[in-house]
Structure 1
Amino acid sequence: MTEEWQRGFYRRSLEQRQTLLAHGRDLGPLGEAQLQINATPEHDLVIENYVTDYRVPEGLVLGLVVNGQPYTVPMATEEPSVIAAASNGAKRVAQSGGFTAVIQERQMIGQVVLQNVTDPDHVITDLLMHKAELLQLANAARPSMQKRGGGAVDLQIRPLGSFVSVDLLIDVQDAMGANSVNTMAEAVAAHLRENGYDVLTAILSNLADHSLVTVTCQVAFADLATAALDGETVAQRISALSNLAQVDPYRAATHNKGIMNGIDAAVLASGNDWRAIESGAHAYAAKGGHYRGLAVWTVGAEGLMGMLELPMPVGTVGGSIKLTPQSKLNYQISRIQSAKELAQVIASLGLAQNLAALRALATTGIQAGHMKLQYRSLALSVGATPAEVPTLVARLATENHVDAAKATALLREMRENE
């Protein structure tokens, strides 16, 4: 049920929406002031019903070595252990030579789906006869892309029962490309409708399996060892965990979530669509009909070898990329110049993240390092000042059971004893 303050909300100015929200939700003067302080006026033009910015902490992974070049990579995330883990994995791999990343091609897919197809073979034959014409129509919808060396380069057709999917393969150059792909697919769809085809939809696919990045690395046994375990034993355990993620979708989901911890944070900081990357990665993980772990680790004669392959259709221009001052600054920090370079770096970061997570699982357990970082967030959430956080975290680390009530009680005790 719509409340009075919500009526016509989208028609209001930014200042009016902030005031209506503050009064409608009884946020008080401080709440309204906070909305105003965190707001970026330009963002009122970006999304509907804009009121303020939700800020996410950003940090850096240093010394991520990809194809022989060290990178400083901005990551935006609220998860305390993500950047620490990525840094840990990146450092171990760098000591053994770094990551090698390869991109064979970089093309997006625009689907034009036909329905109520009774004779798929006839339809496929007809469409293939007009392949050059359809590609020309697609490119005419975005002529500037073809002039830059990109555009629709191929067309593939897939029968899907009573459906037929006409897949346009489009080289979007350094752009994210979603809007261009959709425009080109809709141009082809309009032509097919005019020629009697029953077109159901025309839209890009986020399963960008023509934009695959393959990342490999090798980690020397010595760089995996702990005080209690030799490096080869750790490597064998990591390999076993990797094998488990290939046969058990329950383990694979968490295995891949760890990879995406790093990838999503880097994609968000780059101004790209992390949701598109996330959906494409999980779809690719299930491409064989069984959901599996995206990263694979095996033990060789001299160390642990890792491999990660997944779609990475990111861009460095267009869309929301470099829309904000922060995303512009992030490209100055990373010094990444092209979409291919960005894709290689982000995929390498995902493999680094996975290495750190599996090494923790194979040795001390995931909670040992994770909870030390979580305690800082917990301390802040119960009202500890920055000066009080180290002491409270040290106290929490000695407790067998930790929750908000325990943290609150310890903080109160600390203050009483000052």
Structure 2
Amino acid sequence: MRLHRSTSEAVIQALDAIFGGKRYADKVIEKVLKQNPKWGARDRRFIAETTYDIVRWYLLLKRITEAKGDDYWKLLAAWCALHGVDLPAWDEFKGVSVSKVKSEEMKARSIRKVRESIPDWLDELGEQELGKLWEKELQSLNEEADVVLRVNTLKISKRDLQERLDEEGVATYDLKEYPDALVLEERQNVFGKPSFKDGLFEVQDAASQLIAPFMKIEPGMRVIDACAGAGGKTLHLAALMKNKGRIVAMDVEQWKLDELQKRARRAGVSNMETRFIESSKTIKRLQNSADRLLLDVPCSGLGVLKRNPDAKWKLSPDFIEKVRTLQQHILNDYCEMLKPGGLMVYSTCSILASENEKQVQQFLKQQEGKFELQAEKRSWPSEGFDGFYMALIKRT
């Protein structure tokens, strides 16, 4: 591989926006890639993958180069040295010794927080909550995430979609233990494909696809997805319900619900309505109305660092404390929308017990017998996909 000036500058620009501007990596990369229509697929892949890789290994690369502040060129130089890419004779790379970079990287392997490139406080918290499991899960969280599709069974079967994608130049393989999942054999942008525009699939991690079936959903039910966001799980629920019954998708941000409406139209979903949560009155109006309730609550997002590596640099102990308080608030207030005898699922994309099992235990204790735990399920990053927790809870 040979470095090119324009694509290298694009990587530096992206890093500056992510770290200097504290912006989300996926949005930054999307914007950067739109700047130059002349970049081909290989150039675009280099910019996206190199940026994500440097973000993922930021602490390690800083340590082995002794880079100060916003010296992102040094980080790029270190990345090149570790990937066997020759450094051009550019002024920005002056003083960088490839042999020293490799030597320092070998030394850094003995310190876990540097080797795995994670903030001190987060490494301590992970070990405190997960014990011996933390090392294995942390290592897995630094692996690149697979791109997984969820077949929209309202419109097509898995086999037919696989054949259609193959015709469009997208090779996939089947995940037999996940009924609606196909994995891309090679990373590529699938959002421009005719099959996506026709609403035949959504991009949704395999672990995330476990949540809707865990709710024991049936066609004809009244279902509330109370933290719907842009609605990946809402659309999965609609497919499992075969467009029969009613889904109320709710969120505290209207723009997310607007995006969900667009996605629902593309997917051919006809049994869904959206409701903006203006205040506690919105929740009270729906008391005792749901056969099933999904609370996919805001969380630290530690289980999805594979696809959002910049999150580990944006998180703070204060944020995690606030999100735990919010999780309890949602559990105790929103549970009233569930009918007696109904089932709800509490889920997070975190691997911390303090956001998962402990939150459910605290909720059950506070509710004093009004709810009982039916089942729990976890997906660990070391199993190959995102980290998720889900608890199935019955209103008695």
Shorter-chain TM band: under 0.3
Relative to the length of structure 1, the TM-score reads: 0.25
Larger Rg: 1
Relative to the length of structure 2, the TM-score reads: 0.26
